Chains A and B, each alone.
Chain A
Amino acid sequence: MSDSDLLLKVRDLQIEGRSDETWNPIINGASFDLKKGEVLGLIGESGAGKSTMGLAAMGFTRDGCRISAGTVEFDGVDLVNASAAVKRGLLGKRIAYVAQSAAASFNPAHRLIDQHSEAPTQHNVMSKAESEADGRELYEKLRLPNPDEIGFRYPHQVSGGQLQRAMTAMAMACRPDLIIFDEPTTALDVTTQIEVLASIREIVEEFDTAAIYITHDLAVVAQMADKIKVMLKGDEVEEADTRTMLSDPQEEYTKSLWAVRSFQRPQKPAVQTSATPIISVQNVTAAYGKIPVLHDVSFDMHEGRTVAVVGESGSGKSTVARCITGLLPPKSGHIEYNGEALPLDYRKRSKMQLRQTQMIYQMADTALNPRKTIGELIGRPVQFYMGLTGKAKRRRVDHLLEEIELEPDTYYSRLPSELSGGQKQRIGIARALAAEPKFIICDEVTSALDQLVAEGILRLLAKLQDELGLSYMFITHDLATVKSIADEVVVMKEGKVIEQGPKDEMFTPPHHAYTDLLLSSVPEMDPDWLTNLLNERGVDNIGDAAIGKM
């Protein structure tokens, strides 16, 4: 490697974060090089220090963090010791940043194009008029619909996928040498993710921009990066070029990451047609105020089985759950439990009826009262539904904690804030089990968790299903999760059921066109997957899909 090609040199970088007046290490010494036009994939679970490292590559640390040792050299400039003014001269102009949530990272008070042209005008790269014209061209390159007009909108008037592309355009505004992409597609639906990935890859190639691509999704990084670096709790695990890393990982941790997707339950035999479904959703139509959300939705769920409800955000998945639990009484249609119609409003349901349907939520953080101990959180439904008190209640709570594989004596008196994300989700499961339900709705229960932790939750749910004969309605947008635990699949779009059937059938062609689009959009580990898919679909197709979303 000739030195002139070298753009970014990071050596023994150590970063500390402050909590309770002491400095704790976040990154314990990381080194890497980045050549001009090269893309480095930075991968690891949450808490691995990926974002901190990405920002440090810009010479930036968040409040309460500091670079304690090591060097970051960008094109000969020492970013660790550079003055604030020198760094400001590089940021935005030669090094740009694309944040995880474009919706939160665009200033809500200004139009897109004004934010776009801010860096070029402030750094005296272009006049405002020039950079606005350039912005329009970039919008067109990134296949944003109505490129001439979209810049004049405010962030809230533009969809998430479009915002993410507008942010990539904004990062490109000064034609930087390096862009840091910090999980740019994590918050997006699979179908939108593809469009954004394709746009990013194309424009990075066209302008020969170097990039650091941060993500926790292995399949995504395989499409984007020339080389991959794996991080674990602030330590480097290994680094290699993409193909080698995928085919021949050296470290145990890397292998375990690669193996995540292997968990799969065998398909259960088909349900007898005569069997009474445990929950039957019949011709349900629902609306929030005057805005219709569900149109004539019907499907059945049987005892001891898992039905996955999949679809993009806004497809009405969670609304179905709200209808089943009675939180949102449907406008028409009805919900049957074991062949008996349930009152539509939860207030009119008996305690017995309420007990049978429990829910586990996506954000365990917000679903658990932070001021109650674990014992109180689980004990409450035990007392409310089962009428147990005193020692009997304690025995039941201990038993439930054992069921979710947490040691009762250790966890009984802890607060939720003392638990990890995966453990909190387990408490959510125990709380649902406390009512001894027949049927549990799992609303995106694994989507806020890292893959390894998520897999643990899925295994636990599968074990509980076998032991207790539970039925699950599994709401998710992650098709890998569907593959691993569903028995039946219901595909929803715009409040309608598009297709439903046993899992094996759903994952074998022929599919409904929309199911096909969903399935084929799930990134695969193959580094050529995106290229092949784009060729297959034809690039124009993706642009059309984007316009179709308008």
Chain B
Amino acid sequence: MASIFRIIAQRLALGVLTLLVVSIVIFTAVNMLPGDFAELILGQGATPEAVEAIRKDLGLNEPPIQRYLQWLAAALQGDLGNSFAQANFASFAGTDTGSGLESVATQIAPRFKNTVFLAGVTAMIAVPIAITLGILAALYRNSVFDRAANILTLSSISSPEFFMAYVLILFLAVLNPILPSLSNIYDGMDLSERFTKSLLPALTLTLVVTAHMMRMTRAAIINLLASPYIEMARLKGLSPMRVIVKHALPNALAPIINVIALNLAYLVTGVVVVEVVFVYPGIGQLFVDSVKIRDIPVVQACCLIFAAAYILLNLTADVLSIISNPRLRHPK
């Protein structure tokens, strides 16, 4: 057990290092994009003076390294800075009241909460379905059921997400109006309504992530079916279902857990398209908008959240894999 805590500490330390590298890469990448916030926000009406004023206001005229270090120093103290887009450009308009600046943290927090909520709802639906399907596919391997499950999940993962989303809207919101097609959830909404509103995007995402987890469950179990202890279980006259659930599954957990973690990380970070289709106020949409207008503080914060999600979920998966191994749980 002591070794587990050492692994966690080590990985967290490495995780912090990863975050630092991510922030440098993102900062550099955004700076390499053509145009900056001032030019893009002013669009065609950009006069050199106006651009210069905004740049000065936001500190964009300082050298990039200095700007990065300033951001980093603030971030290390827990201040992720202020969103460019939310600033009121006081000096530009000449109405500086010194207030109304919204920090990145307060801007992202509700969005992030929504994203986690959607990921949670999806996981609650997708993980049990994927594992059950995987077990059944392993049990009836090479049968019609196995092939049908494979074809269905594979075609749903191969179609574009927006297509799956519109198909679901067509069937569940337009032809049979069971679920709302707009998922515009907001603060103060009660939980059941939130849940109903999130259901369509969650189902779309379920279709996207199930195939991966199901196929890994199936493969991990089938991989073990040739092992002597499975043969032993069969020679004890146990039912095929019991052989798989009781004897194969506990030993197949590690790879399954890892795939689940990867898919959860995807749900937190990669669902922009689905958010757009359902007008779901998640973090993905905010992120894309911020990149478009080069709103560096928001981009940085989003990327750090995404990276942290990957790091923490993978760490959790590794720890669970270790715990699922009786050799490590019960040393000699």
Contact = CB atoms under 8 A, between A and B. Distances in A.
A92 B251 CA distance: 22
A108 B232 CA distance: 12
B17 to A, nearest CB: 28
Contacts, number: 76
Contacts of A104: 227-229
B231 A92 contact: no
A101 B229 CA distance: 10
Contact of A119 (B231, B236, B326): B236
Interface of B is mostly: helix
B6 interface: no
Interface stretch (A55-63, A66-74, A504-512, A533-541): A55-63
B237 A108 contact: no
Contacts of A87: 237
A58 B229 contact: no
B250 A154 contact: no
B234 A101 contact: no
B13 interface: no
A107 B330 contact: no
Interface residues of A, number: 31
B251 A109 contact: yes
Contacts of B239: 88, 122
Interface in A72-121: 87-93, 96-97, 99, 101, 104-110, 118-119
A105 B238 contact: no
Contacts of A93: 237
Interface string B189-230: 000000000000000000000000000000000000011110
Given A99-B232, A107-B229, A90 B326 contact: no
B141 to A, nearest CB: 11
Contacts of A105: 228-229, 231-232
B237 A119 contact: yes
Contact of A90 (B229, B237, B332): B237
B235 A108 contact: no
A91 B231 CA distance: 12
Contact of A122 (B234, B238, B250, B326): B238
Contacts of A63: 226
B140 to A, nearest CB: 14
Contacts of B332: 156-157
Interface string B288-332: 000000000000000000000000000000000000001100101
Contacts of B236: 91-92, 96-97, 118-119, 122
Interface string A488-518: 0000000000000000000000000000000
B253 to A, nearest CB: 9
B111 interface: no
Contacts of A109: 247, 250-251, 326
B327 A108 contact: yes
A89 B242 CA distance: 14
Given A154-B326, A156-B326, A156-B327, A107 B233 contact: yes
A393 interface: no
Nearest to A157: B332
A122 B232 CA distance: 14
Contacts of B234: 60, 91
Contact of B238 (A62, A88, A101, A156): A88
A58 B235 contact: yes
Interface string A395-418: 000000000000000000000000
18 contacts: A55-B235, A62-B231, A88-B238, A90-B237, A91-B237, A92-B236, A96-B236, A97-B232, A97-B236, A99-B232, A107-B232, A108-B229, A108-B251, A119-B236, A122-B237, A122-B242, A154-B326, A156-B327
Given A91-B234, A156-B332, 4 more contacts: A90-B237, A105-B228, A108-B327, A122-B237
Interface of A: 55, 58, 60, 62-63, 87-93, 96-97, 99, 101, 104-110, 118-119, 122-123, 153-154, 156-157
